[in-house]
Chains A and B, each alone.
Chain A
Amino acid sequence: MIRLEGLTKRFGTFTAVNGIDLHVPRGELFGFLGPNGAGKTTTLRMIAGILRPTAGRVVLGGVDLIADPMKAKAILGFIPDRPFIYEKLTGGEFLRFVAALYGQDGDVVEHRIGELLEVFELSQWRDELVEAYSHGMRQKLIISSALVHRPELIVVDEPMVGLDPKGARLLKDLFRAFTARGGTVLMSTHTMEVAEAMCDRIAIIQNGEIAARGTMAELRQQTASGDASLEDLFLRLTGGSAARELAAILEG
């Protein structure tokens, strides 16, 4: 469903993403982990068509994103990490607008908007301007907007930020149901427990390159870590000395 071939992004002389190859098949929930500044968000933004790759290809559902962006983006739902939305639209109007960007309107869309707002407990805020929404409510609205056009794959950057435990649980259930029905999710997160519990496979990215990838069992095998947790694996692969140094600073 998602195929990255030699994906590279340079900002001036700095290489943020360096020749990533990745394949996420249909029906898989794939976790994308890495320390801050490793290149996760840049990779996800290239997949979403917001950033243009310096080199390499992004293929979504068999369609090359650069060659035919309209067709490739039509099956995608994107949830960014720092979303800005039109403050002077109501939640309902925003969802209707997003559906229109995907060429969808009419009663079906209205019904779907009602359903999504109901699921995310935003129904009573449907006619309120977004400027009055809390951070968590905005996050729920963004997630709804990524689902309103019925995408085949979802690319999501830090989905749990700002969600209350109920909202986070709802999102986990939603992603599971989505992949069970053949949808694909590529998710970047810093929450190791979430990644460990939810993802079918995981890739750990560091300095713009994939340091390790596979199922939890495969990752343990690659790093010869016995039955270590994902957090331990992550720290081993990305260098956990900083955490120890931080503890020393706080104690000192």
Chain B
Amino acid sequence: MTPSLFTLISPKWRTSRTRLRQGRATGGRGKIVVLAVVGLLFWLMVFGVLYRVLAYFRGVEEIGPLLAGKLLGLALLSFLSILLLSNVVTALSSFFLARDLDLLVSAPVDWLDLYLAKLGETLLHSSWMVALMAVPIFAAYGVVYDGGLLFPVVVIAVFFPLLMLPAVVGSATTLILVNVFPARRTRDLLSVITIAAAGILVLLFRLIRPEQLARPEGFRNLLDFITILRAPTSPFLPSEWAARSVMGYLVGSWAWLDIALLWSTAGAFVVVGAVLHQRLYPVGFTKAQEGAERFVRGWFWQAALAPVGRFLSVAKREFIVKDIKLFFRDATQWSQLILLGVLVVIYLFNIRALPLFTGEQVPFFFVTLVSFLNLGLAGFVLAAIAARFIFPAVSLEGRQMWLLRSSPLDLRALLWSKYWTGTVPLLVLALIITVFTNVLLKATPFMMAVGIGTILLLTLAIAALALGFGALYPQFDTENAAQIPTSFGGLVFMMTTVALLAVIIVLEASPVYAYLQATRNDEPLRVLTPQFLLPLAGVLLICLLATALPLRIGLARMEEFEF
């Protein structure tokens, strides 16, 4: 007798159940509460914004439902594209690289059961976040348009096939790719494509300047937009079928054909996917076992860092070289730099797009204020980057800790290397952001000096906080570095950093205000006053403490690690 589909998926849900129980037993309740609160706040925010927009749409005659439907169609289309990309990547793990595959493939498991079990796994792993994100969106539609008790059922009936379609297409794409390239190469290729696609999308969205629609001079565009609204959209897009089904139910005209289209297409796709799986999977799985040969000389970094390395101990030097090599050889890591580049371009673009220098003379007060508050924003951007690149540093050493702990390596050297490998690029980035934005804002030399000084201190502190929290909340079981910042520890790090930024901004407000007053009254700036010096001393002290303490605590925690 061959094992049933239920037998195949039972280890997964049993594992999740046990993990949940263990988490509760080991004091994970606090984590769950914090995550639930943050999630709920996010839901409320999305719901609130959409509720206002939809309530406004509902008040607009004729084009109101059209706009609401279009908005839903756009949201679902974005979901569909995100899901397609994420399913392609997830399918590679679940169908070809997962650790349970040797067991499943060697057992007398029916190919269809294996396909369905792995398809379900892929769907669940790649879609849960999108499904959660969709809850407040549909809730807002249901509330504004009085969807009633049946509305959640309609949403589920519409949303499930919509999730199924990209899962099948994504899995099939991966299946074909693996039959062409080795699995490891495919993974590298996919991560670069995914990140680049996401980066380009974000960049394009920003560069078309959607805020212009909100301006009076943008009305001509709005009229164009209405014309576009009335034009028929692609009849082949499942997101359009889903949007029409939901809006049809809400405005009282059931779109049965669209629901039928969704389900029949999903069903047909599963059948086609299963046939492809039956034909291509055995060959693809075999190819996935083959290692991709990669010969590397690796002299570049050794030579590039030689001048600096001369002043360091052997262990510190080799640690830095090792970390840099690992980063640039892992496509899932270096490809994040593409997003980072996009982020910086958008940041500078946003500053440049500020309507400060259009038309008449802008008050000096506003320029100084923006330049000052920009510090907090730059700090937040740096914190997000540190969360992605520095926070996982300790976790990523977890599997090799046997080597580090059995050698006479001083953990301080390890922490030192990790700190500076992360801090130096962060400092360069921080200075680029601050100097460029201040130049764009035409900030005064005083504000430039305050900006540079503060961002230097903040970067040192943010990097130390990231490393310290990374050691306090290590994720040794996670192989994917990109998942580590989204852990509970990553959240605590971000919250702490935001608190630090707030304190620094509040403290520095006093000397900046004194400077503004002095300039407005045409008086010389009196530097040697308690109002000016004490807050700056406070900033210095807090930043130094926020640098030293996390590193010290992180080191103490690392000394306790047992493997």
Contacts and interface: CB of A to CB of B under 8 A. Distances in A.
B446 interface: no
A128 B330 contact: no
B480 interface: no
Dominant secondary structure at the B interface: helix
A132 B405 contact: no
A93 interface: yes
A131 B184 contact: yes
A89 B297 contact: no
A47 B471 CA distance: 24
A170 to B, nearest CB: 22
B291 A73 contact: no
Residue from B313, B319, B325 whose CB has the most chain A CB atoms within 10 Å: B325
Interface string B25-57: 000000000000000000000000000000000
Interface stretch (A29-37, A101-109, A183-191): A101-109
Given A90-B298, A101-B404, A105-B318, A50 B562 contact: yes
Contact of B563 (A51, A100, A131): A51
B402 A48 contact: yes
Interface in A10-57: 45, 48-52
Given A89-B325, A101-B409, A96 B400 contact: no
B121 to A, nearest CB: 24
A69 interface: yes
Interface stretch (A75-83, A205-213, A221-229, A243-251): A75-83
Contacts of B521: none
Interface string A123-140: 000011101110000000
A194 interface: no
B296 interface: yes
Interface string B546-563: 000000000000001011
A88 interface: yes
Given A50-B406, A70-B410, A103-B313, A84 B399 contact: yes
A73 B313 CA distance: 18
Interface residues of A, number: 39
A236 interface: no
A97 B400 CA distance: 12
B402 A97 contact: no
A86 B293 contact: no
A9 to B, nearest CB: 10
Interface string A108-126: 0000000000000000000
Contacts, number: 102
Residue from B184, B313, B326, B408 whose CB has the most chain A CB atoms within 10 Å: B408
A76 B405 CA distance: 11
Contact of B314 (A49, A73, A105, A132): A105
B70 interface: no
Given A101-B409, A131-B291, A51 B314 contact: no
B562 A102 contact: no
Nearest to A73: B408
Residue from B295, B403, B405 whose CB has the most chain A CB atoms within 10 Å: B403
A82 to B, nearest CB: 9
A171 interface: no
A108 to B, nearest CB: 12
Contacts of A1: none
A74 interface: yes
Interface string B371-403: 000000000000000000000000000011111
B361 interface: no
A169 interface: no
A28 B95 CA distance: 49
A71 interface: yes
A227 to B, nearest CB: 39
Contacts of B313: 103
Contact of A127 (B184, B297, B318): B297
Nearest to B479: A87
A83 B315 contact: no
A104 B291 contact: no
Contacts of B314: 100, 103-105
Nearest to B561: A50
A80 B403 CA distance: 9
A76 B409 CA distance: 12
Interface string B314-341: 1101110010011001100000000000
A97 B318 contact: yes
Contacts of A174: none
B16 interface: no
Contacts of B2: none
Contacts of B12: none
A93 B322 contact: yes
Given A89-B325, A103-B313, A131-B184, A48 B406 contact: yes
Contact of B325 (A83, A93, A101, A105): A93
Contacts of A93: 298, 322, 325
B400 A86 contact: yes
B264 to A, nearest CB: 44
Contacts of A73: 406-408
A192 interface: no
A89 B560 CA distance: 27
A49 B406 contact: yes
16 contacts: A45-B563, A50-B563, A51-B562, A51-B563, A70-B408, A74-B408, A80-B402, A84-B402, A86-B322, A86-B326, A93-B325, A100-B314, A101-B407, A128-B296, A129-B294, A131-B291
Given A105-B314, A129-B296, A145-B403, 10 more contacts: A50-B402, A70-B408, A86-B326, A88-B329, A89-B325, A100-B314, A100-B315, A100-B318, A127-B295, A129-B329
Interface of B: 184, 291-298, 313-315, 317-319, 322, 325-326, 329-330, 399-410, 560, 562-563
Q: Which 9 A-B pairs have the closest CB atoms?
A: A100-B318, A84-B399, A132-B291, A101-B407, A78-B406, A48-B406, A88-B329, A73-B408, A70-B408
